[in-house]
């Protein structure tokens, strides 16, 4: 568990319309699961999607979702994990087994991450990504995509494989032009705390053109704590901070955006 010297941000004002944190990593946060869920629920974040990044943590995600009605699971080998797995096929078989469980609503996060990956890693990532797309389609689960510095290849591989009916770009990081491509294809775009960062105008431009019917919110906690709390630990209870900034960008009332997001998340994950 990462320990942070900085104190946790205060509870924000509760949302009047409850929403889901569409992407979180409770297993990497300082507080216990119960405590994190209670804090989130107290500010109107009544559902979370717990995302596993390797086989073991995907199993944990499935177990946690089985134990808590407000938690849904997503299971996958993270793109940075794919090149490190000793036996990729065996690991993928394990993911498929977990993905078939009823409390597992999505396959992800999968995709491509070219930020720190050499050519060998890219081949393994692409193979893993294609396999995850197939698993999602076979089992009729949502697909959760991690796309870092790999927009073109992610979109191309989705076209080549045929995207699942419900596809979510987690921590959406494309520009406005890409948001229009995603919108045309019906891909959901999930925005994280980085949409609040000062230097993130291109991301806000993307959010501005994203149709309200395809927008989700997430924390990706413990990462990407929204402003003004950058550098402090993130957790699902901070969703309202990001959602309020998003409402401002979209020129919508907080309640109307929250209503959209609540419906969109349920539609994306099928709950
Ligand atoms: Zn990610
Ligand atoms: Zn993540």
> Given a cut of 60, is residue 247 above it in pLDDT?
yes
> Given a cut of 70, is residue 246 above it in pLDDT?
yes
Q: Which residues contact 264 (CB under 8 A, 6 or more apart)?
A: 188, 213, 214, 215, 216
For residue 68, say whether it is annotated as part of any ligand binding site: no
For residue 220, say whether it is annotated as part of any ligand binding site: yes
Question: Which residue from 155, 165, 251 is spatially nearest to 210, judged by alpha carbons?
Answer: 251
> Given a cut of 60, is residue 3 above it in pLDDT?
no
Tokens coding 159: 């076209």
136-194 tens-digit pLDDT:
999 999 999 999 999 999 999 999 999 999 999 999 999 999 999 999 999 999 999 99
Q: What is the pLDDT of residue 198?
A: 96
Distance 57 CA to ligand 1 centre (A): 14
For residue 78, say whether it is annotated as part of any ligand binding site: no
Distance 35 CA to ligand 1 centre (A): 23
Question: Which residue from 157, 141, 151, 153 is spatially nearest to 171, judged by alpha carbons?
Answer: 151
Q: 230 exposed, middle or buried (CB, 10 Å; 0-12, 13-18, 19+)?
A: middle
Residue extents of the structural domains in the chain: 19-269
For residue 260, say whether it is annotated as part of any ligand binding site: no
Tokens coding 231: 């550098």
Q: What is the pLDDT of residue 6?
A: 85
Mean pLDDT (the chain, rounded): 96
* 143 and 108 Cβ atoms separated by less than 8 Å: yes
Q: Residue 147 CA: which ligand is closest?
A: 1
Cβ atoms within 10 Å of 238's Cβ, excluding its own: 28
Distance 119 CA to ligand 2 centre (A): 23
Q: Residue 112 CA: which ligand is closest?
A: 1
Q: Which CATH class is domain 19-269?
A: alpha beta
Distance 171 CA to ligand 1 centre (A): 7
For residue 151, say whether it is annotated as part of any ligand binding site: no
pLDDT, mean of residues 70-96: 97
């Amino acid at each position: 568990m990462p320990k942070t010297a900085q104190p946790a941000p205060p509870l924000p004002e509760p949302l009047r319309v409850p929403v889901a944190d569409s992407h979180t990593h409770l297993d990497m946060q300082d507080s216990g699961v119960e405590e994190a869920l209670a804090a989130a629920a107290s500010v109107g974040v009544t559902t979370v999607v717990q995302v596993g990044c390797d086989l073991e943590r995907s199993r944990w995600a499935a177990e946690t979702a089985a134990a808590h009605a407000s938690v849904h699971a997503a299971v996958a080998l993270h793109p940075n994990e794919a090149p490190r797995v000793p036996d990729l096929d065996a690991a993928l078989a394990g993911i498929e087994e977990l993905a078939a469980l009823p409390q597992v609503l999505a396959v992800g996060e999968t995709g491509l991450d070219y930020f720190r990956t050499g050519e060998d890693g890219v081949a393994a990532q692409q193979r893993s990504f294609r396999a995850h797309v197939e698993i999602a389609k076979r089992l009729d689960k949502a697909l959760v995509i991690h796309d870092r510095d790999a927009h073109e290849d992610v979109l191309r591989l989705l076209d080549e494989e045929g995207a699942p009916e419900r596809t979510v770009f987690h921590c959406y990081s494309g520009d406005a032009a890409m948001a229009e491509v995603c919108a045309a294809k019906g891909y959901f775009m999930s925005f994280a705390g980085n949409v609040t960062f000062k230097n993130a105008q291109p991301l806000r431009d993307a959010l501005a053109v994203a149709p309200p019917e395809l927008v989700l919110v997430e924390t990706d906690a413990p990462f990407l704590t929204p402003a003004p709390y950058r550098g402090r630990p993130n957790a699902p209870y901070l969703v309202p901070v990001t959602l309020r900034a998003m409402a401002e960008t979209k020129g919508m009332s907080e309640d109307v955006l929250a209503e959209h997001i609540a419906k969109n998340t349920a539609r994306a994950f099928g709950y």
